[in-house]
Amino acid sequence: MIDPSSDRAVFRQLADLLRGRITSGDLAPGASLPSELRLAQEYGLSRTSVRQAIALLRSEGLVIVQPPRGTFVRTTEPTETVTLLKGDTASARMPTPAERRELEIGEGVPVLVVFRADGSRELYPADRIRVGR
């Protein structure tokens, strides 16, 4: 439950509760989260606190918001393995809005940038990629 007297902000407590339900499978991939109003009523919070909790989960890549349909648990995408060859390097960063549209990735999902030894660069959604040697 939410403890308003806790040192931890109430929106973070709500995010923790929802994150726990998502990681336990209680809220399965593709499942709809309760509405902001219902969460606010159920936990005795303001809608602002509920929105902050959802924004935090969204930034972690756990949920997607589809106005006006609602908020849904993000489905896991099939992964692809990218092989790094000798001299290749990789780093992760947040995508630009154009890259997010091009790669069809949700907000809060980083991209993996592979720098090939030949000077070329490849960009991948980090939630759908494994790196191998």
Closest CA to 3 of 20, 38, 57, 16: 16
Torsion angles phi and psi, residue 10, rounded to 5: -65, -35
End-of-domain residue from the set 73, 92, 121: 73
| Three-class secondary structure of residue 129 per DSSP | strand
Give the helix/strand (H/E) hosting 64.
Answer: strand 63-66
Instruction: Report the distance separating Cα 24 and Cα 45, nearest Å.
Output: 23
What number is the average pLDDT over the span 43-51?
96
Strand partners, 71: 65
CATH at 43: 1.10.10.10
What range defines the domain where residue 58 resides? 10-73
Residue 1, in any domain of the structure:
no
Q: What is the pLDDT of residues 75-111, one digit of tens each?
A: 876 678 999 999 999 999 999 999 988 988 877 788 9
Look at the chain and count its residues.
133
Among 37, 56, 73, identify where a domain stops. 73
